[in-house]
Structure 1
Amino acid sequence: MNTEPSQHVCIVGAGIAGLATAYALQQAGHRITLIERAERPAAGASGGNGAQLSYSYVQPLADPGIWKMLPKLLLEKDSPLKFKPQIDPRQWSWGLQFLGACNRQTSQDSTRELLSLAAQSRIAFEAALEREGLACEHHTPGKLVLYATQQGLDGAAQQVRLQSTLGGAAQRIVDAAETVRLEPALAGYASRIAGAVYTPSESAADCRMLCEQLSALLAARGAELHYGAQALAYDVQGGAIQSLRTSAGSQIRADHFVLASGWESASQAHALGVRIPVYPLKGYSITVDAANTLATSPQAAPSVSVTDTARKVVFARLGDRVRVAGMVEIVGRDTRVEPERITSLAQSTREVFPQLPLQGDLRPWTGMRPATPRGLPITGRQRGGPRNLWLQTGHGALGLTLAFGSAAELARQIGRA
């Protein structure tokens, strides 16, 4: 642990970004106070996410290929993308910036930055796993990214070549037969894929379990955790935040304040004079209990993590469970679980893994992923805000993947402040 003089850091948000940041700062010797309006950690986008740690295949959502796909994505009834126009300038501004980023050069630049951050994150996360013995179903099964057409697979091959020049992990293009050899549970789906990108080094973990473990560690080591307390108002004087008042009646004074409150960080930052291009991309998941099935049919459920690009759905094994997640909805602040989306995920599971019966409670979930137009998170101080205000948000669908790298970076910045 760092022996430099301790500072008091107040962090708003107990998702994976906030908790990883709190952990990194505590490891650096700082005193931590954490504020979370929910009664538990991982109550937002971290609670039921796709569980994949995508360190090596980080193609940004803002990709030039989106232009050809956009009409189909927007107009098809069962499209994984849903756009519901809002009377909200931030939605339209974000959308225009996103489309502006859908070009080859920006996509390559974003890929380069994401790969670098992901590599740092892997080192930091795996060091924490070894140091703390975190129990979060972490394993390294590898990942298959499926493509339905040869054209799509050829495009993926270009991305693989790009990432290889940027120092990415070993990957290879495999045909449908090799895909099934790597993951026998895909045998019934082989006729519907042209092939896949295979990355042996990719991992998976249960983000909710990880957040719960981090929260317990922080508390055991002296952090003050205020669950069920909403950040209400900041007292700003002389260009710095003096204190934060919460719904629990607390007045928290600290040297630094970190906004790690996911999609809501944009409005909270705006109240402090900072504009950031973060908008919620709503996603869904179900969790399939496969214990009984695996006892008699071990190959009914996937062992390797799988991403089906045609369906925009991911599958990740977590012990005897399978997490199925997907969808991108740009629908504003609507946090309701839409039954048809859960039905769609269940149907995708039946078609991709027909031997995996969907029995019992599928634990339907929705989460609002905080996304920037380019897919790059916002870490650090921002122009126009108080000098002791720091941002840790905008990780999109890569929150679990990037959290520990972003946390290490913010800890370095605060240590130099």
Structure 2
Amino acid sequence: MHVCVIGAGVVGLATAYALQQAGHRVTVVDRAERPAMGASGGNGAQLSYAYVQPLADPGIWRQLPKLLLEPDSPLKFRLQADPRQWSWGLQFLGACNARTSADSTRSLLTLAAESRLAFEAMLAREALDCDHHQPGKLVLYPTQQALDGAAQQVALQATLAGPLQQVVDAAEVARLEPALASYAPRMAGAIYTPSESAADCRKLCEQLAHLLAQRGADLHFGTQVHRHAVQGGRITALDTSNGRITADQFVLASGWESAVQARQLGVHVPVYPLKGYSITIDAAAAPHTGPTVSVTDTTRKVVFARIGDRVRVAGMVEIVGHDTTLDAGKIASLQQSTREVFPQLAQTGDVQPWTGMRPATPMGLPVTGRARGGPANLWLQTGHGALGLTLAFGSAQRLVQQLARA
């Protein structure tokens, strides 16, 4: 079967790889000139298989005034004259309850476990160099109340047979990650997951694209999709800036733009872009000044991950529509957070400022499978939010399995 995947981020390329492994002929189309130019290019680099608490959490209600009103808040909301933004926001707030959060956690843990198996099997098979390692992860909490709430999430995940996690105090935080020695006393403690890992998503995507092409896939970069030709309830071709592309099945895996493309085909996908930022700091000269263990600071909503001899610092959530411009103030905020959390980590040279649009659903669960109400050969693979790298390979396996049953 010939399958055309629209999107060359980690989700699209993982899907294309799984399809090719299953014996399908694969074509990949992306409007960018190279892989991982969207949300995958500068993401947080963490593979969060164990601690998957969805963004739609009951604690949001308590934090909402501070998140919306404080000038240095990691959340920015700019109201748009867009009913889709209103609809998404209301659905998100409706999902911020204990029952929905528990159900979403259960679903995410199951998918994350599948994804881990698929990703690690791929790495063992292909021996890709993407700076993958397993340093463990610390999720830092500033108050005992916040830490107690996190401990409840850990207890919930333990009942779902999730990986081993520990609640640790500030002293243990500093022992596990010495680079946090000056910052740890300001924390009540952390959730520590020894099994968590990290990887450079851009390098992973570049090598997956190379593998796909080497094994016969057609990769069309710098190719804009103008129109989906539909006949008899099926997509027959894509009319693109580089000519017509035909296939038997079509997969929308282009992040937040998948929702726009699906809408053109009469399909509603509850995905909205959540804008994030990152910087990448060269730590080769003084490797011990930055973290070895991956770190998530819940106070600042910022993550720190070691990838090779670099440290990726990522965070922020902006609900600002389709505005993809880089806000220098947000980059400065990430630099300031780095100075406070890891004061010895020198930020010399280019910190590679980046911004990207995470495709998020209100409940935090990705959308994988046939597009209901649309063309019979249209499939969706989007809505992974900040967990695209974590969930990509599990989602890919699920789509391949569904396609085989169709």
- Scaled by the length of structure 1, the TM-score of the pair is 0.97
CA distance in 2, matches of 1:333, 1:255: 31
SS in 2 for 1:292: coil
Q: Does 1:355 align with 2:379?
A: no
Q: Which amino acid aligns with 1:255?
A: D
2:277 is matched with 284
CA distance in 1, matches of 2:99, 2:115: 24
- Structure 1 residue 231: Cα displacement: 1.1
CA distance in 1, matches of 2:33, 2:21: 25
Structure 2 stretches lacking a partner, 5+ long: none
2:58 is matched with 64
Q: Does 1:257 align with 2:272?
A: no
CA distance in 1, matches of 2:134, 2:184: 23
- Structure 1 residue 191: Cα displacement: 2.0
Q: What does 1:153-302 align with in structure 2 at a 5 Å threshold? A: 153-248=147-242, 250-294=243-287, 298=288, 300-302=289-291
SS in 2 for 1:368: strand
Q: Which amino acid aligns with 2:142?
A: A
CA distance in 2, matches of 1:237, 1:219: 30
Q: Which amino acid aligns with 1:397?
A: A
Contact 2:57/2:98 (8 A) holds in 1:
yes
Structure 1 stretches lacking a partner, 5+ long: 1-6
1:114 is matched with 108
CA distance in 1, matches of 2:17, 2:351: 32
Output one character per residue of 1:223-272: Cα deviation in whole Å (capped at 9) or x when no partner: 00000001110111111111111111x21111100000100111100111
1:381 is matched with 370
SS in 2 for 1:291: coil
- Scaled by the length of structure 2, the TM-score of the pair is 1.00
CA distance in 1, matches of 2:273, 2:398: 23
SS in 2 for 1:211: helix
Q: Does 1:131 align with 2:163?
A: no
CA distance in 2, matches of 1:394, 1:264: 10
SS in 2 for 1:57: coil
SS in 2 for 1:262: coil
SS in 1 for 2:99: helix
Q: What is the CA RMSD across the aligned residues, in angstroms? A: 0.5
1:4 is matched with none
- Structure 1 residue 293: Cα displacement: 1.8
Q: Which amino acid aligns with 1:28?
A: A
- Structure 1 residue 383: Cα displacement: 1.5
Contact 2:171/2:185 (8 A) holds in 1:
no
CA distance in 2, matches of 1:175, 1:293: 27
Q: What does 1:12-31 align with in structure 2 at a 5 Å threshold? A: 12-31=6-25
CA distance in 2, matches of 1:237, 1:409: 27
| Identity level (%) | 74
SS in 1 for 2:181: helix
